[in-house]
Amino acid sequence: MTREEHRIVQALDRRSFMRQSAAGILGALATGASRPMCGQSKPAATADTLILLWMAGGMAQTETFDPKAYTPFQAGLQSRRVLSSFEPIDTAVDNIKISKGLERVATIMDRATLVRTYQAGDLGFILHSRHQYHWHTGYAPPLSVAAPHIGAVIARTLGPKHPDVPAFVDIGQNMEIGAESDSIKAFHTAGFLGTEYGPFMVADPAEAVAAVRPPAHIPAERFRQRYERYRKLAEASPVMREGGSYQRDSLLKSVDNAHRLLLSPAGKAFDLSLESKEIYDRYNTGRFGLGCLLARRLTEAGARFIEVTTEYIPFRHWDTHENGHLRAERMKADIDAPISQLVRDLEERGLLNRTLIVLASEFGRDMMTEGKPDRPVKDQVNTQPEVMTDIKHYGMHRHFTEAGSVLLIGGGMKRGFLYGETANERPCSVTSKPVRIEDLHATIYRAMGIAPDLAYEVEKRPFHVTRDGKGKPIAELFA
Amino acid sequence: MRWFLALIAVTCASAQSLSLRRPAPQDTRPGVTAIDAFVEQHWREHSIKAPEPISGELFARRAYLDIWGIVPTPQQLNNFKSSPDRAALIDRLLADSRNYTEHWISFWNDLLRNDEGVVYHGERKSITTWLRKALEENLPYDRFISALINPAAQGDPEGFLIGVNWRGEVNASELPPMQAAQNSAQVFLGVNLKCNSCHDSFISKWKLKDAYGLASFFSDGPLELVRCDVKMGETAAPKFLFPELGSPAVGTSLADRRAAAARLFTSPENGRLPRTLVNRVWKRLVGRGLVEPVDDMSAKAWSDDLLDWLAADFADHGYDVKHLLRTIMTSRAYQSPAVDHASKPYVFTGPLVRRLTAEQFADSVASITGEWRVKQTGTAGAFVREWQVKSNPMTRALGRPIRDQVTTDRLDQPTTLQALELTNGVTLATALLRSSQRMLGELKAPPANLFDSGVVNAQRVPVDIDITGASKLWLLIEDSDSYDRTRVVAGWLDAELTGPAGTVKLADLVPKSPRRMIQPRKASPGEAITGPLSSRMIVDLGGKPFTRFRGAVAIDESCLISEINPRARFFVFREEPDPQLLVRVVGDPPAPVAWKASSLDQTVDMLYRHALARPPAPAETKVARSFFNGKLSADGLEDLLWAVFLSPEFQYIR
């Protein structure tokens, strides 16, 4: 809240202001250092909550949602002959096949729109964190202004759904991951919008409740007393007699909001131990699975934007530089049950219609092409021989920016719908309906009721939420 | 990035000339500073009565925070009260180059996009060594700028022109010469070239050609104009932003062009350079610029005379930044009570209330609690101030920026996420837990390590240490930012323990620990006891009187590839280590411990004096006592520290 806005709040009836309050009240006021400029024509929202399931590290599309001809491994097999290392399987939709290992997701494909033609940006020599930055902000660094994460834009524009729940929660990503820590931090931020709209980070969903509880070593009663005494101490300060309203109230208000969150029943949403063992176990494939469970609970409680990531750590998880087949198998085992359960649970609770789930990754993968077929970039894989001798050679080890898959479920999207096509022969390029990040973002924003040309003012210039305000929602995807 | 149609009105530019005027203050009575003479004039015009200056205590707190970035100790405050000469205090604080540098370096890091240890897999170069020295020596600002614009000498700050680059291809508007043009224009001259790095600006007079003209001074070869990603088939020539400075011969080599740029930026005729800097410093000290926004110096100042007088005075005193600080801080304008809001239209009625920056908060808390951050170097560590180490969740929440972009104005409004971080975040909670125990003398001194390998990558480091009298050994392998720590094979090679009864292999003492051969680079292989990074192994010596532990530590050669890039650090302790302090810390903390908690009332009294620069009122003592059950305790102190550090009075500079 800027000082000017603070003054406006002062003018409001104090008690009525206090009544509504909590964690997101500042966000709910929809104010901040930067003001919206254009894009005021608000489209009607088809979703109130967004859950982004982030397949960090580059999910191989031909091993998941865009299977091609399957060639089993055998020593002596030529690398270039392998398009998919898994068999395709049937789904609940006749014309959609996905990869073996995603049997549960296959059963909910009738609720999903599948986009097979996401084309990542051409950023040259590939760096995961740079592509992730691009996906999450719509802009590729370096930039002359600190771009906000899409979650921060949504938090800034819409505020929280429930005032006691943070608007933007980010689940599963540790910030200290070694050498790429700085580049990961660079986009897990609200940028110029200000920290109020930044992510509430929950690295480990199993311990999420710690994020909304007093410090572990301080018992609840002591914590409550500490705050009570703090208020008394602050009230006794000369600031209360001599200072203006900004000095008197602004900081206390923020501390008050924090305590409301920490003491609010809404904080229970973070506590996975309140789930039945049966449900907990259905989700619990590990951190990602529990992250999906937490996302469901936060959706029910009133968060606005939730990202659950398989976690980006260089060379791990979806970042399969070698041994891609076995590792994709394990990744699919991690995501299959929780994603399908999340969809079913939200549906059962009547929330899927107004909750948009987006599953995406920074780019796809291929065994042979690094970059795009017509724009190859510096190769980063040196363990892909022409003829495979070891199972570790078998899998999608190169970064493929030509095509990747995106799943959109609920929140006003079509059900059982397939959009875009890629060729069945290598290089498996996009043959129709390419989707760029600005249009994907525009689609997401449109579903959330935000105009793609919405802009916030920074340094007296407009910063558009999709690149230059030019993103176009893909009308065909909407039900 | 492109900036299309802006729906904002063009700010009306003032008809300011480029060169400095030297307006004379009207009130020339002795004791009235020139700044105050101009301010009085401003106040007369707006029928404002001059406020009384703030108290000595408040002034001292402001002065320490503005020059050193930490609150004054009770002792320092007493010293000042016994000889309350404000100008003398300012001089004394400015004379302490180390503390001055450790505070102001964050201001410059924000402007120059410099940070500690940040890597983007693209070219970027720290300028910390140079910057620190420049501040310590109070390098005149014109020479400071020359070194940044034209880093020709050994040790000059090349990093500024290199910019922030990420691996891969970069948009034409963000190539290093364009970044250099944008940033030098914005930071040094208050000219925003970001719109017109892509197309002619819609909100200012600047054209695409102007951005390319300036960028050409920093480019190795000719730059082709690119308008919104479309090449225009036209090559830019070096052209400075202000034609008033003429178009001197520029030369053909990059070195010549940079030198020419440095001359233009620092030309005595270029009043924009000192105006922009004095305005930034005024904002830093007073909360709002004479011109706002500070990055658009074509806007009108609330007192053009004051702006130009300050800029001229600064230039006439050899571009001495400390002189500028002294000039502003000795004015009654600076010493007026802080006000809450900037009125619209703006009238100066006193400094704006400012919030402690992340660094001021962290360093002030540390100076009171003794809980400093540790910077690891070689085989030792040092207690350091916040700026010297990477940001943590607390300082990021409080606004320490990710310095990809120039930061000229940190948002300082309190936010809920900040309050959450300060209320239940691990950083502050851990610091307060430890410091309350330390202040009461209850914190066990951290045991010193017997061995610290320093960061190990390819080298094999021998271990040969005295362990006489030890009954157990703690063997730690810590991660030091490996790329993929899960794949690092590291261990204790050929390790053995010797005593009067002979020699025993480490492997025999820890029969269950994993072992394998490790092949260090350029050294012979050895049988190793291995452990994952960030693990500890406790070795029970079984009561045997061993005297030495010998062997080596190393990482297997197979891990020495870029996608693992192992960096491990090995430690040996004979007592349970303190995880916060594995390294042996040498040297003094940035500020000595000012006082120890001895009794309840004394603690409350000293805490108030230190944190808030005043003793507690009786009513406050009463509330403060309620944190304790009648006697001084770590729990109570921890909670009281928290309450004081989160109070508006602590966090605001009033």
Determine what percent of chain B falls in helix, strand and coil, rounding each to the nearest 5: 40, 15, 45
Q: Which residue of chain A has the CA closest to B623?
A: A233
Q: Using CB atoms, pick whichever of B163, B341, B418 lies closest to residue A3.
A: B341
CA distances from B230 to A138, A280, B407 (A): 20, 54, 29
* Residue contact B340–A243, C-beta within 8 A: yes
* Tokens 């239209």 sit on residue: B345
Residues of B numbered 399-418 whose beta carbons fall under 8 angstroms of chain A's beta carbons: which are they? 399, 401-402, 404-405, 411, 413-418
Contacts of B339 in chain A (CB under 8 A): 244
| Chain A contact probe: residue of B170, B415, B623, B650 with most A CBs at under 10 A | B415
Pairwise CB contact (< 8 Å): A238 & B649: yes
Confidence of residue A461 (pLDDT cuts 50, 70, 90): confident
How is residue B232 written in tokens?
Answer: 């225009």
Confidence band for A299, pLDDT divided at 50, 70 and 90? very high
**Span B380-431, pLDDT tens digits:** 899 999 999 989 999 999 999 989 899 998 988 899 889 999 999 999 999 9
Higher pLDDT, residue A33 or B377: B377
* Whole-angstrom distance, CA of residue B61 vs CA of residue B64: 5
* E-assigned strand segments in A69-120: 88-90, 97-99, 112-118
Average pLDDT, stretch B362-389?
93
- The answer to whether the Cα torsion of B414, B420, B424, B426 is positive or negative is negative
List the end-to-end C-alpha distance of chain B, in Å, as a whole number. 40
**Model confidence, pTM:** 0.91
Asked if residues B279 and B290 have their Cβ atoms less than 8 Å apart, the reply is yes
Determine the pLDDT at residue B5: 37
Q: Min CA distance, A225 vs chain B (Å)?
A: 8
Q: Do B194 and A314 touch (CB under 8 A)?
A: no
Model confidence pLDDT, tens digit, residues A331-342: 999 999 999 999
Question: Region A298-315: what's the mean pLDDT?
Answer: 95
Q: What is the pLDDT of residues A13-70, one digit of tens each?
A: 333 333 343 333 333 333 345 677 765 678 899 999 999 999 999 999 999 999 999 9
Q: Which residues of B touch A38 (CB under 8 A)?
A: 7
pLDDT confidence of residue B411: 85
- pLDDT digits 0-9 by tens, B485-539: 888 999 999 999 999 989 999 999 999 999 999 999 999 999 999 999 989 999 9
Query: CA B273, CA B285: separation in Å to the nearest integer?
Result: 19
- Beta-carbon count within 10 A of B275 CB: 27
> Distance, in angstroms, between B496 CA and closest chain A CA?
32
Question: How does residue B13 score in pLDDT terms, banded at 50, 70 and 90?
Answer: very low
Q: In this predicted structure, what is the pLDDT of residue A16?
A: 35
What are residue A318's phi and psi, to 5 degrees?
Answer: -75, -5
Q: Does the structure show a pLDDT above 70 at B256?
A: yes
pLDDT of residue B12: 39
Question: Which of B405, B417, B624 is closest, CB to CB, to A196?
Answer: B417
What pLDDT is recorded for position B9? 36
Distance CA A147, CA A472 (A): 20
Average pLDDT over residues A248-253: 93
Q: What is the DSSP letter of A456?
A: E
Alpha carbon distance A119, A288 (integer Å): 25
Residues in chain A, total: 479
Residue B628 forms contact with A (CB below 8 Å): no
Q: Please judge whether A244 and B482 are an interchain contact, meaning their C-beta atoms are less than 8 angstroms apart.
A: no
Interatomic CA distance for residues B590 and B572, integer angstroms: 27
Contacts of B393 in chain A (CB under 8 A): 175, 201
B20 pLDDT above the threshold of 50: yes
Which residues of chain B neighbour A460 with C-beta distances below 8 Å? 6, 8, 11, 192, 203, 293, 296
B329-340 pLDDT, tens digit each: 999 999 999 999
Quick one: average pLDDT of B297-322? 97
Question: Cα(B158)–Cα(B289) distance, rounded to whole angstroms?
Answer: 30
| CB contact at 8 A, A315 and B484 | yes
- Look at B623 and A233 and tell me if their CB atoms are within 8 Å: yes
pLDDT for residue A40: 61
Helix (H) or strand (E) holding B141: helix B141-149
User: What pLDDT score was predicted for residue B14?
Assistant: 45
How high is the pLDDT of residue A29?
37
pLDDT tens column, A80-101: 999 999 999 999 999 999 999 9
Nearest CA in chain B to A189: B402
Q: DSSP state, A467?
A: G
- Check A142 against B170: CB less than 8 A apart: yes
In sequence order, what DSSP letters do the residues of B283-327 get, joined into one string? HHHHSS-SSSSTT-TTSPPS-HHHHHHHHHHHHHTTT-HHHHHHH
The mean pLDDT value for A271-288 works out to 96
Smallest Cβ distance to B485: which of A175, A178, A225?
A178
**With pLDDT > 90 as the criterion, what percentage of chain B qualifies?**
79
Residue A371 has pLDDT above 60, yes or no: yes
- List, as ranges, residues 544-583 from B with C-beta within 8 Å of A: 563-565
Rounded Cα distance, A196 and A187, in Å: 15
Give the pLDDT score at B380. Answer: 87
Amino acid at B93: L
CB atoms < 10 A from the CB of A387, how many? Answer: 12
Amino acid letter, B588: D
Query: Nearest chain A Cα to B4, which residue?
Result: A468
pLDDT(B356) > 70: yes
Q: What is the pLDDT of residue A150?
A: 98
Structure token pair of residue A445? 């924003």
**Distance set, CA B44 to CA B34, B149, B334, B614 (Å):** 15, 42, 18, 34
Residue A23, pLDDT score: 35
Strands B548-555, B461-466: pairing is antiparallel
Instruction: Residue A175: list chain B partners with CB under 8 A.
Output: 393
Closest to B403 (Cα-Cα) out of A134, A2, A183, A312: A183
Please give the interface size between A and B, counted as residue pairs whose CB atoms are below 8 Å apart: 283
**ipTM over cut 0.95:** no
User: Does the distance separating the beta carbons of A239 and B654 come in below 8 Å?
Assistant: yes
For residue range B121-176, what is the model confidence (pLDDT) as tens digits? Answer: 778 889 999 999 999 999 999 999 999 999 999 999 999 999 998 989 988 889 99
* Residue carrying structure tokens 């520029």: B250
Segment A359-376 shows an average pLDDT of: 96
SS3 A410: coil
Cite the DSSP H helix spans in B494-633: 506-509, 600-612, 618-625
With CA atoms as reference, report the closest residue to B636 among A230, A252, A260: A230
Please give the pLDDT value at position A284.
Answer: 97
**What tens digit of pLDDT does each residue of A214-241 get?**
899 999 999 999 999 999 999 999 999 8
Residues 6+ away with beta carbon under 8 Å from A39: A450, A451, A452, A453, A454, A455, A464, A465, A469
pLDDT at B224 over 50: yes
Looking at the complex, does the CB of residue B345 fall below 8 Å from at least one CB of chain A? Answer: no
Q: A115-161 pLDDT, tens per residue?
A: 999 999 999 999 999 999 999 999 999 998 999 999 999 999 999 89
Contact between chains at A145 and B1 (C-beta distance less than 8 A): yes
Q: In this complex, which of B167, B168, B399 lies closest to A195 when CB atoms are compared?
A: B399
Residue B4 has pLDDT above 90, yes or no: no
Residue B500's Cβ-count burial label (10 Å; 0-12, 13-18, 19+) is exposed
Interface test with A, best of B413, B434, B436 (most A CBs within 10 A): B413
**A413 vs B118: which has the higher pLDDT:** A413
A251–B646: do the CB atoms touch at under 8 Å? yes
Which of B293, B424, B623 is the closest to A236 by Cβ? B623
Q: Which of B197, B424, B617 lies at the smallest CB-CB distance from A236? A: B617
Residues 93-152 of B with CB under 8 A from A: 118-122
A213 to chain B, closest Cα gap in Å: 7
Decide if B610 contacts B71 (C-beta within 8 A): yes
Tens-place pLDDT, residues B469-498: 999 999 999 998 887 788 899 999 999 999
Sort out which chain A residues have CB atoms less than 8 A from B1's CB and list them: 139, 143-145
Taking 70 as the threshold, does the pLDDT of residue B258 lie above it?
yes
The answer to whether A422 and A429 have CB atoms below 8 angstroms apart is yes
d(CA A300, CA A312): 27
pLDDT of residue A34: 67
Cβ neighbours for B283, distance < 8 A, ≥ 6 positions apart: B289, B292, B294, B409
CA distances from B217 to A81, B177, B230 (A): 52, 8, 22
Give residue B132's pLDDT.
98
Q: Are residues A124 and B121, on separate chains, in Cβ contact within 8 Å?
A: no
pLDDT in the model for residue A6 = 55
**Is the pLDDT assigned to residue B616 strictly greater than 60?**
yes
pLDDT of residue A27: 39
Whether B648 contacts chain A with CB within 8 A: yes
Contact B575, B474 (CB under 8 A): yes
Does the pLDDT value for residue B642 go beyond 50?
yes
C-alpha separations of B180 from A398, A450, B174, B219, B613 in Å:
34, 35, 9, 9, 43
